[in-house]
Structure 1
Amino acid sequence: MNRVGIRCDASTDLGVGHLMRCLALAEELRERCLEVVVLGDVGGLDWARRQLARRGLPLLPGPDGPAAMVRTARRLALDAVVIDSYALDPRCSGALREAGVRVLAIVDEDDRGQDADIYLDQNLGAERGPGGSPAGSVRLAGVRYALLRDDVRRLRRREPAEPGGRWTGEPGQPPRVLCFFGGTDAAGAAPVIAGELVATGAPFLATVVTPREGALDRLGPADGQTIHRIPPTDDLPRLVAAADLVVTAAGSSMWELLYLGKAAALVWVAENQRPAYEEVVSHGLAAGLGHLDGVTRADGPARACLRELLTRARTRAELGARGPALVDGEGRVRVADVLLSP
């Protein structure tokens, strides 16, 4: 196998989660001296284009139908195609397979009727799913197959966090909080969560990632509360590593947080995030704030949960200590091994 195509999209509405996990696999394939080309549309997102450019990954238009997909695969001499999309015609995978192109379909619970050689569902608990797949296909399920980027893998701590240990924030200093909701914050979660942090009344130093200028202007932080807005950044993994608490949506970034041993509070903003959210929260791997629409109740559990996480360093340390044993960062290696196997 010499050349692999990755079919995925990113946009303000779709977010960038599909692209980010595909980039992790692309990095692994490039390390093995394969050529990789991305087929899709990044919706004019400059940040997404930079992610591709700095990895030297060409971006070409993404075909949407079976016949066009096969023509593109033949024109580019692709030996395999990775498909990661909720919207692409599911017949594309079967058409590629019939044309002799190996297909890896990245899915989240629902395979949408795709006919692939390999199905990858990297979500916690996916290994307990029904496991059905067409004859001759392979199913890779669970977080042992989580796809993590180089930017994240190189930040792994050398020793696990311990309750009361040295990563719970500087003594006497407010906790450092990072809020991000994908590369686009399509659901507008950033101002909602930042407002809830303010409503706790607890001190904090928060960095909030949102592309919307002025999104946080109406907030009125109290004494001891600091909020700094930044646009989507290539430096997000480093910001995650430096934070005492991360508040985010229940997307593919969850596995990065677990890998890095971060205390995390999660919301779910789309129905396809709910199963993974419930799985992670029920296992005590992250704190659950519920659906974004219900976060702002003054007497609700979300605000109380945030207040405890802001004021109790030990709670944060205990929460963050559970993830590294579960996500070892070698998922992309395992996936590439199967994709490249005879």
Structure 2
Amino acid sequence: MVSMKQIYLITEGNPILGMGHVTRCGALAEAFREKGCQTFLVAGESPVSMDFPGSLLSYPLAKACQQGGWQQQDTRDALAKVMGLMALQAGDPEEKVMVLDRYDLSPDWVLQLKHTAHQVGYLDDYHHRISEADFLVNHQVGAEEELQPGGFYENLSIPMKLAGGQYALLRNDFRDLPIKELGETVLNVLIMTGGGNQKGWQEKLLQWTWEIYPKLEAMASKPVTLHLLTGAQGPLFHTWEQQTQNLQGIQVYPRMAADQVAAMMKKMDLAISAGGGTVYELAAWGVPTLALVLAENQEPFVNAMEKRGLVRSLGGHKRLDSQYYQKMLLSATEDLLWRQTSSRKMQRLVDGRGPERVAAALLANNNR
């Protein structure tokens, strides 16, 4: 029975990786929970995983990992800890499904964990080839093309492969949102670079945007507000507050609850964002976005989004300079047609029901 299923999601999060993995696993966990499953989240060393509401998940594994000092860089030790923790959990192995979402995945992970679970699969946005798995999920736009002849997944002998933007793993805050009504001018600009503020990009983007702030206000003929959302594992709020307290036009937000982030995005006219899962959240609200590639695995996703007219890419962080960034920002601000068109396309792509689709498919596959 579905109500007897135990779903284990093994993920990771830290100041370098940010919290994207934990967030999307939390969204998938919620979808399984809604279908009557008992859900466990193993989030390694990151304490932020504990911020999910108590009604959402059960945390015996996450707590044990944290108390045990599981270090992300020690792959062998991490696997051993998961195996040990799984051995302590009651329940029929035939009713257990394990979802892995870690960069250090290997066939050994899957083979070892198959001793304790009926099905083991993984979330993939880094082109892992693990034929020993029972399923894979790649929720990036463009990933569906990898299933076609000549694609990366074509000859990968995994029973179930779910790929494409329809599987975007977003929290319930982003489900079935109303159509975005864009104004003719850009009055609210959001800047966010994910949970870890990699390589200080929050500071750079804010500084470069502030340098052309007079132009943004002149184009709007009204006051413009720059909204800076500090990452869950980035600089402390009071540091940003001290740096910007005398600058009118800049609003800094502390570490916000998930529902508060969703509500804030709703008000934005334009966003500058890292090219990870946050882009999907902005897409759900129809917020025109300039996407910056901060990690290697973000590049194909951002490129596919730009190819479809969903975002404009700022390219990789190693090549981006202030002149090009400011040119792109001013161009997006002026281009009302692009902002309106991209907003409509984004909301047609993302309806927030990706986790529901993934959970339904995996449970149906597990019951065969």
TM-score band, normalised by shorter chain: 0.7 to 0.9
- Residue 332 of structure 1 aligns with an amino acid whose one-letter code is P
Per-residue CA shift, 1:44-86, capped at 9, x if unaligned?
44xx422354634413345754554344333213601111010
Shift of 1:216: 7.9
Residue matched to 1:22: 25
- Residue 338 of structure 1 aligns with an amino acid whose one-letter code is A
Map 1:180-191 → 2, pairs under 5 A: 180-191=192-203
Are residues 1:248 and 2:278 paired?
Answer: no
Shift of 1:191: 1.3
Question: How far, CA to CA, are the matches of 1:184 and 1:27 in structure 2?
Answer: 24
Residue matched to 2:216: 202
Aligned pair in 2 of structure 1 residues 303, 5: CA closer, same or farther (>3 Å)?
A: same
Residue matched to 1:315: 338
Residue matched to 2:220: none
Residue matched to 1:178: 190
CA contact (8 A) 2:167 2:357 kept: yes
Aligned pair in 2 of structure 1 residues 136, 14: CA closer, same or farther (>3 Å)?
A: closer
Question: How far, CA to CA, are the matches of 2:88 and 2:169 in structure 1?
Answer: 28
CA contact (8 A) 2:86 2:116 kept: no
Residue matched to 1:55: 56
Per-residue CA shift, 1:122-147, capped at 9, x if unaligned?
11111111224654521111111111
Are residues 1:69 and 2:69 paired?
Answer: no
Match of 1:125 among 134, 137, 142: 142
Residue matched to 1:41: 44
Residue matched to 2:182: 167
- Residue 321 of structure 1 aligns with an amino acid whose one-letter code is R
Map 1:107-146 → 2, pairs under 5 A: 107-111=124-128, 113=130, 115-129=132-146, 130=151, 131-132=153-154, 135=157, 137-146=159-168
SS at match of 2:36: coil
Unaligned runs of 5+ in 2: 218-223
Residue matched to 1:106: 123
Map 1:280-319 → 2, pairs under 5 A: 280-298=305-323, 300=324, 302-319=325-342
Shift of 1:293: 3.5
- Residue 51 of structure 1 aligns with an amino acid whose one-letter code is F
- Mean CA deviation greater in 254-263 or 51-60: 51-60
Shift of 1:108: 0.5
Question: How far, CA to CA, are the matches of 2:132 and 2:53 in structure 1?
Answer: 28
**Sequence identity of aligned pairs in percent?**
23
Shift of 1:100: 4.3
Per-residue CA shift, 1:162-207, capped at 9, x if unaligned?
xxxx4226x7xx5111111112323321111112222333122111
- Residue 52 of structure 2 aligns with an amino acid whose one-letter code is Q
Question: How far, CA to CA, are the matches of 2:174 and 2:348 in structure 1?
Answer: 16
Aligned pair in 2 of structure 1 residues 135, 293: CA closer, same or farther (>3 Å)?
A: closer
SS at match of 1:12: coil
Question: How far, CA to CA, are the matches of 2:244 and 2:170 in structure 1?
Answer: 34
Question: How far, CA to CA, are the matches of 1:99 and 1:132 in structure 2?
Answer: 29
Residue matched to 1:232: 255
Question: How far, CA to CA, are the matches of 1:199 and 1:283 in structure 2?
Answer: 31
How many residues align? The count is 326
Question: How far, CA to CA, are the matches of 1:33 and 1:294 in structure 2?
Answer: 47
Q: TM-score, normalization: structure 1? A: 0.85
Shift of 1:329: 2.2
Map 1:145-156 → 2, pairs under 5 A: 145-153=167-175, 156=177
Residue matched to 1:31: 34
Unaligned runs of 5+ in 1: none
Aligned pair in 2 of structure 1 residues 117, 337: CA closer, same or farther (>3 Å)?
A: same
Per-residue CA shift, 1:287-327, capped at 9, x if unaligned?
111222333342x2x21110122344443222211111122
Aligned pair in 2 of structure 1 residues 137, 256: CA closer, same or farther (>3 Å)?
A: same
Per-residue CA shift, 1:6-43, capped at 9, x if unaligned?
10111111100001111111111111111111112243
Q: TM-score, normalization: structure 2? A: 0.80
Aligned pair in 2 of structure 1 residues 258, 327: CA closer, same or farther (>3 Å)?
A: same
Question: How far, CA to CA, are the matches of 2:246 and 2:208 in structure 1?
Answer: 11
SS at match of 1:278: helix
Per-residue CA shift, 1:223-268, capped at 9, x if unaligned?
xx71112222111111111111111011012222222211111101
Shift of 1:112: 5.1
Larger relative helix fraction: 2
Question: How far, CA to CA, are the matches of 2:202 and 2:86 in structure 1?
Answer: 39
SS at match of 1:321: helix
SS at match of 2:194: coil
Residue matched to 1:9: 12
Aligned pair in 2 of structure 1 residues 279, 116: CA closer, same or farther (>3 Å)?
A: same
Aligned pair in 2 of structure 1 residues 16, 100: CA closer, same or farther (>3 Å)?
A: closer
